[in-house]
Amino acid sequence: MALSEQADRQPNCRASFTLMKTYTLWLEPTGRTHELLATTIAHLSQEHGGPLFDPHVTLLGDIDGREETALQQTEQLANALSPIDLILTVPAFQDQHFQCVFMRIEETSTLLDAHAHARTVFHKEAVPPFMPHVSLLYGLYPTSLKEQIIGALPASLSVQFTASVVTVFRVEGNSPNDWHKVQTFSFRGHDRQQAVD
């Protein structure tokens, strides 16, 4: 029997397969911090031919599953989290497309605990080490150029912002154009703690 015939005779299996997607959780800056980072990203992208993308901190990525389940789990996570202070420290680079040039973020206990809780909620215990950062440029460039780029970044990028929401993005490809915002959830852990007190 041809594969196409098998698929036609098993529509439920096909539908189940197509419902499985990949998602990622972002913490996003707002206001002047968003404007500063977005302007820097746009400048570097134009100057070096990289893709445009919105500034963000990935709290947890590579979440595979159904959208309904991902949203339910994210709401569960958001209900347990309180606002997180994110402190951008120094620029750095790596030899990875999505970690090309970026600002490191201080690994505070609040941020690390939020990441750990996200891993628990989404049953993702085996994940790469968490290295919180805000990317400024995507791509693969010579080390000498990346050193030149971070040497020219303004000190004003060492800023701080508070994340009080988490946003679910559906990832349909490697291009930022294929990343689609699904839903945002407010942190309610602080509210729940106040209610207990």
pTM above 0.75, yes or no: yes
pLDDT above 80: residue 2: no
Element containing residue 67 per DSSP (H, E): helix 67-80
pLDDT above 70: residue 165: yes
Contact 110, 84 (CB under 8 A): yes
Residue showing tokens 């970044």: 153
Tally of CB atoms within 10 A around 177: 11
The mean pLDDT value of the chain amounts to: 89
pLDDT (average), residues 139-153? 97
Fold of 21-196: Cyclic Phosphodiesterase; Chain: A, (3.90.1140)
pLDDT above 50: residue 11: no
pLDDT (average), residues 152-164? 96
pLDDT (average), residues 169-179? 96
> What is the percent of the chain with per-residue pLDDT over 90, rounded to a whole number?
83
Q: Distance of CA 52 to CAs 47, 49, 73, 82, Å?
A: 11, 9, 29, 30
pLDDT (average), residues 120-132? 91
Angle between the N-to-C axes of helices 143-152 and 31-48, in degrees from 0 to 180, rounded to the nearest 10? 140
Residue 194: the pLDDT is 53
Contact 176, 52 (CB under 8 A): yes
DSSP letter string, 97-149: TTEEEEEEE---HHHHHHHHHHHHHTT--S-PPP--EEEEE-S---HHHHHHH
Tally of CB atoms within 10 A around 111: 21
3-state secondary structure of 59: strand
pLDDT above 90: residue 27: yes
3-state secondary structure of 164: coil
Contact 169, 146 (CB under 8 A): no
Residue showing tokens 């000190």: 155
3-state secondary structure of 58: strand
pLDDT above 80: residue 191: no
Q: State the Cα–Cα distance between residues 82 and 136, nearest whole angstrom.
A: 26
Residue 192: the pLDDT is 53
Structure tokens at 176: 């930022």
pLDDT (average), residues 68-81? 97
Residue 124: the pLDDT is 92
Residue 16: the pLDDT is 40
